[in-house]
Amino acid sequence: MAVRKIILVPHPILREKCTPVRNFSSAAIVAEDLRDTLYAHPGCVGIASQQIGTPERIIAIDASRRKGVVAHGFMVLCNPEVLYREGREIGREGCLSLPDYTANVARATTVVVRARDLEGREMELTARGFEAVVLQHEIDHLEGILFIDRVANVKTDLFRRKKYL
């Protein structure tokens, strides 16, 4: 439908806990905007609804956009929640809402997530590696948590993004 403007830190909507989706037909409209906005940003692999100004529990991810990553492909998840976490790995993360920084963040290497699709049907999926990280990052958004909140040491693990002309 539309590429939407990304809400940037310090906008207060990014710190709100999102409300559950109840109307799945209106969620489908938001999902189209999430898809269009995600694909309009090269390198973007996930986006949460409040990043485009809609504080509902909707995320869109496509970890397969990253070269060499085996993943489920493009997915829209409503009301996602992590049921199970296993393993731990530290990796570099960035965010459209905080474009000038990246950080080392510890995340589970495997997650099981329960969510609803755009028809309102419940589903469960297991994700590993990079896709598990993307899911955790986007689900954190729905709780008002940013990746910088998960940084162990701001002095050693937060980095300014390089600017290229």
| pLDDT digits 0-9 by tens, 117-145 | 999 999 999 999 999 999 999 999 999 99
pLDDT for res 164? 57
Catalytic residue among 122, 124, 138, 143: 138
In order of start, what are the domains of the chain with their CATH numbers? 12-160 (3.90.45.10)
pLDDT for res 67? 86
- Cβ distance 113 to 136 under 8 Å? no
Say whether 56 is catalytic: no
Measured CA to CA in angstroms, residue 11 lies from 27, 109, 111 at distances of: 22, 30, 29
- Cβ distance 67 to 30 under 8 Å? no
| pLDDT digits 0-9 by tens, 74-99 | 999 999 999 999 999 999 999 999 99
